[in-house]
Structure 1
Amino acid sequence: MNRFKIPSRSELSSSNQATYDKVQGQLGFVPNIYTYMAKHPNALADYLAFIGRKSTLSNKEKEAVSLVVSQINGCQYCQSAHTALGKMNGFTEEETIELRTGKASFDPKLDALVALVVSITKNRGQAEKETIENFFKAGYSENEFIDVAFVIADKIITNFIAITSKMTVDFPIAQSI
């Protein structure tokens, strides 16, 4: 038996039930990872505030970051979620797969972003100098760099929870690469 059980709505605190209902209204369903976080008195609300902060990155750029980090960390749950969200934000299936390989040949600026994310994630923050310079040469700012770090941190949180808990994927399963 899996130790990490997804609670039912009725098992949540009243404040987390309200947050659950808000997510349900916004998305039409509540992803398993959110429901699991709602077991904790503050985690879901804190997480939603964290990911809902203003960002200099576009939703498409945030999805690119999420796809790369989730692939590197081997998180099928988040690969699947962000493949679906990436398509909702304008990527094709083929582009989501290419992004997961650490490339974006279809967009040079996005390619510099993805290369930086690969370098930061694989090297635990010790990104290669040339990759950093290419990111800025592509037109990104230091504010965008900071926001990249926030999205990487977001994905590390969800990747680690989903991987460790063996979270049941409640999105269409992302194609293996």
Structure 2
Amino acid sequence: MREPFFLGDINSAPLSSKPLLARAQAKRSMVPNLELAMASVPALLAAYTSLVEFFEATSLTAQERQIVFLAASRENDCSYCSAWHAVLTQRSGLSSDDVDLLQQGTAIPDPKLDVLRRFYVALIRQRGNVTDSDLTDFLALGWTREQALEVIIGIGAKTLKAC
């Protein structure tokens, strides 16, 4: 049996992780276990929280970012992350029916949001080597080349999350 990573708390965390954990506590009224596990390596926690903050600062809306994270959770077959991001995606204003479709990896009715989902999936499955058609479809529905690159920040955050 694999031994789990240590999940301490803010008090037992290394000194340089404490401000990041305190910020997570203030933002969410709790500190996710993932961040507690990362706290034992302050550089990892800093990298992860920075990527999430950078992703939040992109031109993508909260709903669009959650669609990326939910699609990522599905692609990575992480039921815990899928459940969490399903809640956040619904809170961002997407209907529960559309959230269910996203969790199934199925097209959603809004073509612009669906091409965002498909573009993310193409980036992951093709390891960044999207086809001209993938990019053309993405751009044709009003997304920009800059936003295509912004999606990569979301990929980075989900990669550090490992699910």
> How far, CA to CA, are the matches of 1:114 and 1:87 in structure 2?
15
Alignment deviations for residues 22-72 of structure 1 (CA, whole Å, 9 cap, x no partner): 211111111111111111122222221221122011111111111111111
Report the counterpart of residue 36 of structure 1 in structure 2: 37
TM-score by length of 2: 0.88
Structure 2 residue aligned with 1:61: 64
Identify the residue that residue 136 of structure 2 maps to in structure 1. 133
Number of equivalences: 160
The one-letter amino acid paired with 2:155 is I
| 8 Å Cα contact 2:51-2:154 kept in structure 1 | no
Give the match for residue 90 of structure 2: 87
Q: Which moved more, 1:11-20 or 1:108-117?
A: 11-20
**Secondary structure at 2:42 match in 1:** coil
Percent identical pairs in the alignment equals 26
Structure 1 residue 104, shift from structure 2 partner: 4.1
Segment of structure 1 superposing worse, 23-32 or 7-16: 7-16
Q: What is aligned with 2:25?
A: 24
Give the conservation status (yes or no) of the 8 Å contact 2:20–2:49: no
- Asked whether the equivalents of residues 103 and 115 of structure 1 are also in contact (C-alpha less than 8 Å), the reply is no
Letter in 2 for 1:37: M
Instruction: Deviation per CA, 1:60-112: give whole Å up to 9, x if none.
Output: 11111111111111112321221121122112332222123334432111111
**TM-score normalised over the length of structure 1:** 0.82
CA contact (8 A) 1:102 1:115 kept: no
Q: How far apart in 2 are the matches of 1:104 and 1:59? A: 19
Whether 1:117 aligns to 2:128 is: no
Which structure 1 residue ranges, 5 or more long, are not aligned? 163-177
Bigger relative contact order, structure 1 or 2 (CA pairs below 8 A, ≥6 apart): 1
* Partner SS, residue 109 of structure 2: coil
Q: CA RMSD in A?
A: 1.7
Unpaired runs of at least 5, structure 2: none
For the Cα contact (< 8 Å) 1:34–1:44, is it kept in 2? yes
Query: Which of 71, 74, 77 lines up with 1:74 in the alignment?
Result: 77
